[in-house]
Structure 1
Amino acid sequence: MGLRNKLLQGAVVLALLAGVVPAVASDSPQMLKWADLIPKTAPAQPSKAKTFFGGSTPVHGDDAAPPPLAEGNFMSVKRRQPGSDRPPEVVADLDGKSVSIGGYVVPLDFDATTVKEFLLVPFVGACIHVPPPPANQIIYVKSDKGFEVGGMFDPVTVTGKLTTAVASTGLADAGYTIAADSVQPRTK
């Protein structure tokens, strides 16, 4: 009878663990790659011509150079994004999920070296150069406590709750928003 009770207790423990482990696993953030933010039904973006230094060639409706900006006003003018004439194509299934994704910081709100609001982008220099990436490749991040910037070109990993709420900023529109629980430097 003692062996039977021990086996029964073991079965109960295993049943309890079977119910607990998935709950713990579902609490861990989903690791995302930038390609995960593009719906599978989205049309492929045509590749643009590259300049000698590897950046994209600016696209203007009439192929004329844009008018020069007064000194100091470069960051205040919103640039035209690919697909900016329609709502961003986002993956609706990601709305409300706890996620973790790596990228680069384009600061929006900072105090000295502490950044509280920023755009997370997939590559260095996105949103600084013309044109910015499509909205589904930009994430608006708000971190209540902020984080210390190591270097402008250092990658970070952001963990928090992702929503498909579009955020419009002076630099670009973001197709996703993250309320950051943590922003950590990423090892290369």
Structure 2
Amino acid sequence: MARRIARWVGTVVGGSRFVLLTLAIVAQPVSVQAEPRLLGWQDLVPLGWPDRDPLDGQDISQLDDGDPEAQRLYAVLREYLDNAPVVPSLDNETVAIPGFVVPLRFEPQTQTIQEFLLVPFSGACIHVPPPASNQIILVNAELAARQFPAHPDAPVLVTGRLSIEHAESELAVSSYRLDASQITPYR
């Protein structure tokens, strides 16, 4: 709450005497916890993206994985997806978003996951190629690790400060980072 300081000042103006009250409000620091904004995965993608077909309509369904043309086209597609645009207004927002965990850093002594990729569907980055980088969030779970189970097979809701940060891991490229303050089962 602000502290108020009142000061009385006597002044003579044109022969009349009046009293001027000055009220100063001194701000006191107040800790306010921002209510997290609940996001869906579509909220991480700018309107109008994807903006083009990175393969220019080429049919790749008949190509073998080992075919040099298939490998070239996959590299073109990965380049496009790994550099997907972000939503600048989300930078430094307190958010909550549901998703699935792809562990990156596990602490065996405490049986906790310290860092992971949050992805929109189960198996992303492990069983199938990674989605676009704007659909992957690198999560620092160190602050929330004690409350976070080591075997998260089910979806979770991650709450914390979201920032725009391009990062590469051994599994995928992410365009966002979230410093988690809370991780809970998602129902």
TM-score (norm. length: structure 1): 0.65
- 5+ residue gaps, structure 1, are 1-22, 47-58, 68-78
Structure 1 runs of 4+ aligned residues shifted over 4 Å read 79-83
In the TM superposition, residue 111 of structure 1 has moved relative to its aligned partner by 2.0
Quick one: which of 123, 126, 130 aligns to 1:125? Answer: 123
Structure 1 residue 130, shift from structure 2 partner? 3.3
What amino acid is aligned across from residue 84 of structure 1 in structure 2? Answer: E
Normalized per residue, the structure richer in strand is 2
Aligned partner of 1:34 in structure 2 is 41
RMSD between superposed Cα atoms in Å: 3.0
Q: Which residue of 1 aligns with 2:176?
A: 176
User: Counterparts of 1:135 and 1:121 in 2: how far apart (Å)?
Assistant: 10
Larger proportion of helix: 1
Cα distance in 1, alignment partners of residues 86 and 123 from structure 2: 22
Q: Is the 8 A contact 1:80 1:131 kept in 2?
A: no
Larger radius of gyration: 2
Runs of 5+ consecutive residues of structure 2 not aligned to the other structure: 1-30, 54-58, 68-73
Distance in 2 of aligned mates of 1:94 and 1:65: 37
Contact kept, 8 Å, 1:81 with 1:131, in 2: the verdict is: no
If the length of structure 2 is used for normalisation, what is the TM-score? Answer: 0.65
Greater relative CO (CA pairs within 8 A, separation 6+)? 1
Compute the displacement of 1:44 (Å).
Answer: 6.1
Count the aligned residue pairs.
141
